[in-house]
Structure 1
Amino acid sequence: MLAADLRETLVMTVDVMRDARDPWWVISSAAVALHGVAPIEVGDVDVLMSVGDARRAMDGLGVVPTKDRASSLFRSTLFGRWETPPLVVEIMAGFHVTTSAGWTEVLPRTRVSVSLDRRVVYVPDRAELAAILSMFGRPKDFERVRLLTS
């Protein structure tokens, strides 16, 4: 059972993604919740998509891409925060995480369909999601891996 604010945010997100031309995914805590893990705290919804789709989605939503798209751990070619839904939706394209091998692109190979209010949300499969979260290397991500794999 998803929290009402997460459910509403995901429905709004899927409606925006309807015109996407390329595959897209919800990742991080929202994806863990979509895999049925409970309880899980979800503070925002992270969406990975192609640069073209992200640009079109942001333009349609009036979201201005963030100029400073990098941190010491993450960077994106295009990044924006959609703040209209109950939870912030972070739109990321060309998303990379720094690892011992350097900057590594996060681009899932699996795509699992999750039904939600007559819509479909896409997430990486459990194993790939756990690998992505492990790559992030933060304590909260390791906890998400533990919940996802237990």
Structure 2
Amino acid sequence: MLAPDLRKSLVMVAEAMRDARDPWWVISSAAVALHGVTPIEVGDVDVVMSVGDARRLMDALGITPIEDGASSLFRSTLFGRWETPPLVVEIMAGFHVETAGKWTEVLPSMRVPLLVEGAVVFVPEREELAGMLRLFGRPKDLERVRLLAS
């Protein structure tokens, strides 16, 4: 069962993405929760989408792109935080992770539609999600991989 704040945030994401032209996905801890893993702590909702959809979404929601959204491990061509939902939604387009000294784009290929209070939310297929989390390699991501396999 999803926590109320997560459910409400996911419904808001699905509604905001209704006019998306390209595939989009909820990833990381929220996607693990959507795959039915419990217990899982979800602090925010990470959404990966195309640059065009991210621009349109950010414009529609009045979100200013964040220039310093990159870290030593992650970077995005376009990044923003939507702070209206109960959980912050991180919008990532052109999302990359640094592995072995090079940047690797993270863009799922499989889309699993899941219903949250009647709204369709897309997540990567379970094995693809586990592969992404392994690529991220942080202890919390590796724990999520373990939980997905349980």
Q: What is the CA distance between 1:110 and its match in structure 2?
A: 0.7
How many residues are matched?
150
Q: Distance in 2 between the 1:67 and 1:103 partners?
A: 18
Task: Output aligned runs, 1:40-119, within 5 Å.
Answer: 40-100=40-100, 102-119=102-119
Give, as a single letter, the amino acid of the residue that structure 1 aligns with 2:89: V
Q: Distance in 2 between the 1:115 and 1:101 partners?
A: 38
Q: What is the CA distance between 1:69 and its match in structure 2?
A: 2.7
Q: Distance in 2 between the 1:60 and 1:42 partners?
A: 25
Q: Distance in 2 between the 1:129 and 1:109 partners?
A: 10
Q: Distance in 2 between the 1:149 and 1:111 partners?
A: 19
Note the alpha carbon deviations across 1:79-125, whole angstroms, 9 max, x for none: 00000100000000000000116100000011101111111100000
Tell me if structure 2 keeps the 8 A contact 1:133–1:142: yes
**% same residue:** 75
Q: Which runs of 5+ in 2 are unaligned?
A: none
Output the aligned Cα RMSD: 0.7
Matched residue of 1:69: which SS?
A: coil
Give, as a single letter, the amino acid of the residue that structure 2 aligns with 1:105: E
Q: Which runs of 5+ in 1 are unaligned?
A: none
Tell me if structure 2 keeps the 8 A contact 1:69–1:77: no
Report what 1:29 is aligned to.
29
